[in-house]
Chains A and B, each alone.
Chain A
Amino acid sequence: MTLPPDRLVLLSLGCLAGAILVCALALLWLTPITGLVCFFVGTPLLVAGIGGYLYALLRGISGSA
């Protein structure tokens, strides 16, 4: 399955936004669950977001990246 180029960039930006939001949630309301989500969901989302965006940049498939 090949992702359309713009979709990949949007997906990467979405992953980064998700990582920020889960960490913001833990910052505002820290419980065992939000803390876990911040680490175990936030980190993969951040890595996927930066990796996907970098991939798009290197392949030159991004309109804006």
Chain B
Amino acid sequence: MGSALSLTAVAALSLSAPATSQTLTVAQNNGKAAVPSLPSLASMEQAFLSQDYTVEQLRRFRDENGSVVTVRERLEVDANGTARPDFAITFLGVEGEPPGSSLTLEWQQAYSRHGTLFFRHGSFHVRDMIKAASNYTLHDFGQVVRAGRVARRMVVFPKAVFPHTADKPIWVIEVDGLTSVPLFIAEFDSQFQMFANIEAVSFSASVQMTAPTMPIGAVTPMANFVAAEVFLGSPTGLINPNMSLVQDYDLDTVEVHHDPINGSQRLIMSYTDGIDQFMVVQAINSLDPFAGLPSATVGAHTIGRFRDPAVSALVFWEDGVSFHIAGRGAMQRLDSVARSVYLQALSN
């Protein structure tokens, strides 16, 4: 709890600290000083599609026990006009930990295995500008300086209406005035409890990336569920989740992940309201994790559920497929989503 409070304090300080002592950088464009414009959801989406940059930043994780770990990383992004830019994320160290410590080595390994997840699912992105504009409002809180850059502090506030007024995130971001790349990201819930924080310490609007970070397994983007089903050989038990009842969220990405270590294959479908995400993962040819439970012997249908303020995760198994549905902790409607998907799997 104390760690959580300290994390909140860090965020509050970073939001309020003046940056007059920093050296401001104004990009030059054909000899003329570019004038920073007010960022918008559209400009942030465009930056994600087309802006190259290199940033060194501090990413703060909070584990299930509430402990906070600050990891320094370097992120290089080589935009390619798509929502899947080439990028390299490099682990630089754990703040306050000597190089070579066990904690440092653990985090280095975590970055090697899950670095792509940190960039793609652990950061602020405008994934769908139209949906983002319909589900969030953008509020300007003035000019700040972050990582030596002139930036605008913005609050992305949900438009959610009852009964979903409390299950949407609130974002405080500081957006580079010239490139619209976020230099500071803090994610809060409706109780203003912070769950994610990324703070840039240096920024360059260019990239010299030698080798993009690749996921440890093969990741194959798919156009839709049907393409993924065919790609996987139409295994039994795989379903196309009916998410028409999930208000505000639509299908965003479909990917097939192949783990080279155990040969497992998973279909990962991400749904977004424009900014926030939740995922439906189907691991084919998997064993029933509840097979040994007494309830399994009487034919009961059980969904395993984990929920804390940061994560909601629901797990069940049917017909050789292990289903994982996960999203933000406050998103309690994922319970009904999981129940609906389970019923769909049972009737498949």
Physical interaction between A and B: no
